[in-house]
Amino acid sequence: MTGAPQLVVHRDKELMARAAAARLITKIVDAQSARGYASVVLTGGRNGNGLLAALAASPARDAVDWSRLDLWWGDERFLPDGDPERNYTQARAALLDAVPLNPARVHPMPASDGPYEVDAAAEVYAAELAAAARPEDHGQVPAFDVLMLGVGPDTHVASLFPEHPAVRETERSVVGVHGAPKPPPTRVSLTLPAIRAAREVWLLAAGEDKAGAAAIALSGAGEVQAPAAGARGRSRTLWLLDAAAASQLPPELYPPAVA
């Protein structure tokens, strides 16, 4: 299991997005060089989309072989295809429509105007993940290279909200979420076991309204009360913060001791 979460604090959210985009490009290029392909799980929210927009604007984006990149989603708002509030729609606008992806490797979560209600849609997505898992992944989902998560002010990640049934799920990799406190109420989400299958989990938090959440999640809170505390990667858990989101961290966590 992974060690303690690592923290990187940037001056502001724009710099955080640009630096995280550069970091993601490097991870994808390294994985593709080592293994021929890379797999990344995208998040919704302003910070996740800010990172994608920064990646779209980066000249280094051409270093990525977009045709050999698998894209998955950590959660989705269960809305009709093309709805501007869908995470998939927003990711397309920020980056995906501008790069030559292989459509067969892009795996949006089902939309509400498709053939499934939300719980069946979650099962369909779980089956898609299971079909993509390789024997060496040792699990029911692929060992994603990088799984990104925006952190909510209440410490939610993906659509796993504090004290909700979805955050207690220990068996299934994907669940339907009902009655989410953040609109829309109906969502599809990876579970904590699926998130923890990733090699690296990156948590993105920017802005003063995230300072309390970051402090709680990084100070030993339980994952049912603070879902972000349960989001860990197999080999690395990385918190990418701006200075405002880091402003309430306990002094033993940040700033680093001067050498």
Stretch that binds ligand 6PG, among 26-34, 127-135, 145-153, 171-179 (CB under 6 A): 145-153
Site for ligand 6PG in 177-216 (CB under 6 A): 182
Judged by beta carbon, residue 77 or residue 164, the one nearer ligand 6PG is 77
Return the beta strands (E) in the chain as ranges: 6-10, 38-42, 69-73, 75-77, 146-150, 174-177, 187-190, 200-205, 236-242
Nearest distance from C-beta of residue 43 to ligand 6PG, angstroms: 5
Of 39, 43, 112, 186, the residue at the interface with ligand 6PG (CB under 6 A) is 43
Of residues 21, 24, 158, 244, which one binds ligand 6PG by CB under 6 A?
158
**Helical residues (DSSP H) of 117-210, grouped into ranges:** 118-132, 192-195
Binding flag, residue 46, ligand 6PG (CB under 6 A): yes
C-alpha span between 226 and 219 (Å, rounded) = 10
Backbone angles phi, psi at 51, to 5 degrees: -65, -45
Contacts (CB under 6 A) with ligand 6PG, residues 55-114: 75, 77, 87
Nearest partner of 53 among 22, 11, 17, judged by Cα: 17
In angstroms, give the least distance from the CB of 132 to ligand 6PG.
21
Nearer to ligand 6PG, 31 or 52 (CB): 52
Tell me the CA distances in angstroms from 226 to 104, 149, 166, 173, 177, one per residue in order: 35, 14, 13, 19, 17
Write out the two tokens for 160: 């796993």
Contact residues for ligand 6PG (CB under 6 A)? 43-48, 75, 77, 87, 150-152, 156, 158, 182
